[in-house]
């Protein structure tokens, strides 16, 4: 696995969902034209492939982000991203030892043989806060605190989230939830809370209003990013790690034409700028992440010219992405 980066390596840019699922890859990668990415890859040194199984609870981009942030990248399903977010909130800094979790409002699509988790991307702050006010008393009855963070993310804290292994929302979105539910006693207790919330929201006026407006009702929630921060942990310096999320939404929604367009925009924008930095002798690291694997290019100072091997056999974007 790549080593943690340092200030001398320059900033790291992490690109989640850089590659499509295996069954979509041949058709989609054949349509990608990413000249700036290819030139950049051929000026950086390729690191080893960070390999992961298909059923890992933590996708490759979360492993890469954890490693770059000084967290345990091998803690599958136990990366405390909610605690990281809570540490930056003024109202939570007095509680550094609490266990936290993300609670993501979602729409469960119930079929004959599976339940798929949909993300209501059209949920605005007003509706999210209204929903939170409805469900908060049920969390409090179980000794869990629940606070607003963003329309699609609420922050919860309580002992139930300490060491709780859960799948990332980026794993379960658009998929059958049964694959991603761990059979632990702690999760069984939280499943009871999920069932209560489902019954509460099924006929709630807020759900009926969304349905009447042609929007998917919020009828469930997903728990993820549980745990406490390690003792002594400090966030990386500002600007050292950047997660580039342009490809996430179209990939999770399976809108592959939009994903191709987002990749094209990245190549013409951010990657063109990174290439200019590299050609000027700047230091940076680029980490491309697919569904299973990730690969970093760098670290260290960019070479002013490609290596001889890369002149003879240059890397192509499709060649790199199809391995992810």
Residue by residue, pLDDT tens for the chain (324 residues) are 444 444 456 799 999 999 998 888 889 999 999 999 999 999 898 999 999 998 899 999 999 999 999 999 999 999 999 999 998 776 655 566 789 999 999 999 888 889 999 988 789 999 999 999 999 999 999 999 999 999 999 999 999 999 999 999 999 999 999 889 877 777 888 888 999 998 898 888 888 888 888 888 899 999 999 999 998 888 888 889 999 999 999 999 999 999 999 999 999 999 999 999 998 988 899 999 999 999 999 865 555 555 554 555 678 899 999 999
At 119 the pLDDT is 87
Helix boundaries (H) for the chain: 25-29, 35-41, 60-68, 81-87, 125-141, 169-172, 185-202, 205-212, 248-252, 256-268, 270-279, 308-312, 317-321
At 93 the pLDDT is 55
Tokens 């982000």, residue?
65
- Indicate if 296 and 203 belong to the same structural domain: no
- Helix or strand (DSSP H, E) at 104: strand 100-110
The residue from 175, 193, 227 where one domain ends is: 227
From the list 160, 174, 182, the residue with the least C-alpha distance to 55 is 182
Q: Which residues pair with 154 in a beta bridge?
A: 103, 148
Compute CA distances 194 → 69, 187, 216, whole Å.
31, 10, 18
Give domain status of residue 2, yes or no: no
- Indicate if 223 and 85 belong to the same structural domain: yes
- Indicate if 175 and 269 belong to the same structural domain: no
At 4 the pLDDT is 47
Tokens 């950047």, residue?
242
- Indicate if 219 and 143 belong to the same structural domain: yes
- Indicate if 175 and 311 belong to the same structural domain: no
Compute CA distances 110 → 118, 219, 249, whole Å.
11, 11, 22
At 90 the pLDDT is 62
Cβ atoms of residues 155 and 100 within 8 Å: yes
The residue from 191, 209, 227 where one domain ends is: 227
- Indicate if 113 and 139 belong to the same structural domain: yes
Task: Identify the sign of the CA torsion 32, 35, 39, 44.
Answer: negative
Give the number of domains in the chain: 2
- Indicate if 207 and 266 belong to the same structural domain: no
Give domain status of residue 232, yes or no: no
- pTM of the predicted structure, to 2 decimals: 0.90
Q: Which domain holds residue 128?
A: 81-227
Tokens 């059979």, residue?
183
At 63 the pLDDT is 96
Give domain status of residue 1, yes or no: no
The residue from 183, 208, 227 where one domain ends is: 227
């Amino acid at each position: 696995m790549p080593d943690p980066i340092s200030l001398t390596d320059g900033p790291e840019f992490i690109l989640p969902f850089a590659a499509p699922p295996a069954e979509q890859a041949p058709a989609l990668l054949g349509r990608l034209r990413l000249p700036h990415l290819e030139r950049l890859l051929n000026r950086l040194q390729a690191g080893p492939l960070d390999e992961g199984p298909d059923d890992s609870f933590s996708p490759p981009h979360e492993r890469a982000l954890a490693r770059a942030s000084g967290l345990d990248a091998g803690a599958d399903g136990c990366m405390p991203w909610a605690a990281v977010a809570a540490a930056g909130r003024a109202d939570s800094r007095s509680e550094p030892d609490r266990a936290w979790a993300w609670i993501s409002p979602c729409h469960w699509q119930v079929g004959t043989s599976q339940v798929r988790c949909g993300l209501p991307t059209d949920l605005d702050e007003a509706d999210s806060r209204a929903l939170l006010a409805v469900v908060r008393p049920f969390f409090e009855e179980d000794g869990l605190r629940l606070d607003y963070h963003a329309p699609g993310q609420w922050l919860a804290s309580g002992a139930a989230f300490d060491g709780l292994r859960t799948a990332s929302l980026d794993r379960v979105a658009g998929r059958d939830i049964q694959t991603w539910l761990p059979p632990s006693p702690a999760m069984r207790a939280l499943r009871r809370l999920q069932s209560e919330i489902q019954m509460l929201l099924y006929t709630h006026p807020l759900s009926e209003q969304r349905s009447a407006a042609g929007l998917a009702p919020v009828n469930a929630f997903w728990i993820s990013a549980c745990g406490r921060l390690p003792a002594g942990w400090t966030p990386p310096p500002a600007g050292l790690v950047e997660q580039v999320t342009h490809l996430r939404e179209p990939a999770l929604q399976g809108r592959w034409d939009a994903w191709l367009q987002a990749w094209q925009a990245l190549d013409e924008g951010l990657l063109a700028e990174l290439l200019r930095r590299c050609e000027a002798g700047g230091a940076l690291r680029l980490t491309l992440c697919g569904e299973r694997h990730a690969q970093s290019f760098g670290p260290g100072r960019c070479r002013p010219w490609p290596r001889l091997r890369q002149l003879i056999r240059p890397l192509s974007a499709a060649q790199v992405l199809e391995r992810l």
